[in-house]
Every structure is written in C-alpha cells, then in structure tokens.
Amino acid sequence: MLALPQISHPLAERHEALWLRLATLHKDICVIAAKKPEASVGNTERATVEGLISDCRPYLRKPVDRLPVAAETFAGLAVQLGQVLALLEDFENRHAYWDGKRTCRCWRVAGEPLPVARLRQEVAPFELKTFKGRNMREELAKLMAAQDSGHYERGFAAGRAARQGPPQPGEDAAL
C-alpha cells in the first residue's frame, strides 16, 4: 500500500495565506485586463507578482530552476497568475482529503486533522465523551442541578429556623 504524502502544519497554513493573497491579486488583475488587456504592467505590480510566484516555489510539482518573469501586459499577467493559482490548487488536492468524521476537507498532516481554513467549512461539533461513553455535558448538568437543589434546601431550612427564632429555654432542641 502506498503511503499518502503528509505536510507540516506551517506549510499548510502558509499555503492558505498564499492562496488568498494570490487569488485576490488575480481577481484584481483580471478586472483591469478585461478593460485594458494590452496595457503595460507597472514595476510595482511586476515586483509584487514576481515575489508571490517566488513564494509559491515549495508548492510546485516539479522543482523549477528559474522562476518566470512577470508578463508585460495585464492580459498575460492574468493568465500567468491563473496558472500559479492552479498549481496551488493542485498541491492542495494532493495533500488534502475529505474527513467524513468532521464532514470537511482537511490537510493531510501528522497528528490531529487540520481543516482547510480558507474554505470556511461548517465543521461538525465533536462530541465529548468520557471513557465510559457518557456525555460529559449531561453529567455536568445533573451535578449542577443537584448542587443547586442542596443549596436551596439548606437556605430554606436556615430561613425557617430564623423565622421561628431561637429555641425557648426548656424546649427540646431536637424537635
């Protein structure tokens, strides 16, 4: 049986942060490219894109010797960012899985499963049980109700005794 690849928690978290930054930049560049596809890209945008592509290096399928230079037009830049975004999603598909217990997509990491946070999934609540299989919440509610009942009974007895006053001399205190 082939062992499935695992990644570290920091690598998964870094992937999610990069994916969000790259997806936002890609969306903005696509809006500009739709209006002015042949417009030249400024130096600031090029430096930003090249930095993001460089940060994505650990997530590429094959090691790349030289990273590509950012495209000169907005249309080309939109295509280039889309390709890098596709590589990030490919990495996620290879290193994440569907966890039926939590009903969400999780990273394949060592230890406790880590849900893919950028998907904003509804993670099913985890039932807390003791080693005997009892629900801890119900047991705690019963203990609190019993404690409240005991406080009430003691307070009621103290109030009743205060209303009757101190025992009279010659009365039996045991009554």
pLDDT tens for each residue of 92-143: 988 888 888 878 888 888 888 888 877 776 655 555 556 565 677 777 888 8
Q: Judge if 36 and 63 occupy the same domain.
A: yes
**pLDDT score of 85:** 92
What pTM did the predictor assign?
Answer: 0.63
Mean pLDDT score, 48-77: 83
Among residues 44, 41, 65, which one has the least CA distance to residue 54?
Answer: 65
Mean pLDDT score, 36-54: 90
* Helix ranges (DSSP H) in the chain: 9-35, 43-55, 74-95, 136-164
Q: How far apart are CA 18 and CA 12, in angstroms?
A: 10
Are 92 and 7 in contact, with CB atoms under 8 Å apart? Answer: no
**pLDDT score of 136:** 72
Residues in the chain: 175
Does 22 map to a domain? yes
Read off the pLDDT band of 33 (50, 70, 90).
Answer: very high
User: Residue 146, class by beta-carbon neighbours within 10 Å (0-12 exposed, 13-18 middle, 19+ buried)?
Assistant: exposed
Domain that holds residue 147: 127-165
Are 138 and 145 in contact, with CB atoms under 8 Å apart? Answer: no
Q: Judge if 72 and 99 occupy the same domain.
A: yes
**pLDDT score of 130:** 60
**pLDDT score of 1:** 46
> Where does residue 170 fall: left (phi above 0), alpha (psi -120 to 50 degrees), or beta otherwise?
left
Are 109 and 43 in contact, with CB atoms under 8 Å apart? Answer: no
Does 2 map to a domain? no
User: Residue 77, class by beta-carbon neighbours within 10 Å (0-12 exposed, 13-18 middle, 19+ buried)?
Assistant: buried
Q: Judge if 17 and 97 occupy the same domain.
A: yes
Q: Judge if 49 and 15 occupy the same domain.
A: yes
